[in-house]
Amino acid sequence: MRKVGIIGVGQSAFVRGYPGSIKELAFEGFKEALADAALKPQDIQASVVCSAPEYDKQRSPAGVLAEYLGLNPQPTFYVETLCSSSSTGLRTAYSLIKSGLHDLVAVIGFQKMSEISSAESQERMGRGTDIQWESPFGTMMPAYYALHARAHMQKYGTTLDDLARIRVKAATYGPLNPLAVYQKSITMDQFTEPESRMAGPVSSPLRVGDCCANADGSSCLILANEETAKKLSPKPIWVLGTGAATASVNLTGRENFSGLKAAREAAQQAYQMAGVGPKDIDVAEVHDCFTIAEMMAYEDLGFAEPGQGRELINHKQTYQEGSIPVNVDGGLLSKGHPIGATGGSQLRTVVLQLRGEAGDIQVKDPEVGLVHNIGGVGLYGNVTILGR
């Protein structure tokens, strides 16, 4: 079986209120990926468009974007797994290429969340859970992850300071990322000062500083089969492994709340397919929609034993110079979270790291990178392993 490589990556700036249409927004990431791969729209044989529905009025956006981006009459497909949509898009494109149906596929992720109000956005997110038994009672994303934080604290003794250190790390790298929403540093003191916004309660024990923000943005990945990738790119980055899993949508069906089973299962699949283990990962992007989500990711991915994730952050092992650098582009906590574009942004960061093109956030000589992208409250788990 021939390998599949990533030969082009692109991303728009992530912003709080993009002034244009979803078509224009998608073009931002697409044009950068095309330029990166030195391709024209007509070179793309198929596209996979990724977003979470109901944030804008356009139904079936794949066809609309394909037309605007000059991709007709090539086929286009629309996929969604909530916040992990563009990682699912990569898996779909990978499969299309592996099957021999196409040699060159673009994965386009986007979300224009400012089309609706914050209250409406929270309601949409709530409907990513069980609409019969859970979301009618007003459960929202911060409340769900607060349950996980409380469970992790009770089981392992995790503290608010442990979580705050994750946000401080994110804010260390946010100022180095010109595409991030938040580019300001944060100190531990801001989590203890009574008047500080960071310390404001959201859903106990989570505070404002523990939560990422909605954003508008787009991302794009261009994948090719081995022959095409080697011909077109001087530095193709290979998809070594991909894992995907689902879990019970209703939290009463979960075994425990101190980790995400779908993430653990997806990680094991990806590790097995790639023939590597946690200790082989040189750089990682994990889905830090909340600080507790990053903490659980350390453990679900095997970077630390259950309950020991706090040791990694407390000893700065997940910083750029640490043993396992994680989210050194600022993560969702600094970049913002445009749902359909998030996975593509994570993958772009790891591709640039493996190429040695990450600038101020470059990790020293990485050979293997990992992307962990979660949809909903652990409903969908996606893990992708990339290599030089």
Which residues are the active-site residues?
Answer: 83, 337
What would the 3-class secondary structure string for 280-301 be? HCCEEECCCCEHHHHHHHHHHC
Peptide bond into 73 cis (omega under 30): yes
Per-residue tokens: 374: 């979660």
Closest alpha carbon to 286 in 260, 311, 307: 260
What number of other Cβ atoms are within 10 A of residue 207's Cβ?
23
| Greatest distance between any 2 Cα atoms in the chain | 59
Per-residue tokens: 341: 């574009």
Ramachandran angles phi, psi of 98, nearest 5°: -60, -35
Q: In whole angstroms, give the CA distance from residue 356 to residue 14.
A: 23
3-state secondary structure of 52: coil
- Do residues 105 and 239 touch, judged by C-beta distance below 8 A? no
3-state secondary structure of 198: helix
Residues 6 or more apart in contact with residue 73 via CB below 8 angstroms: none
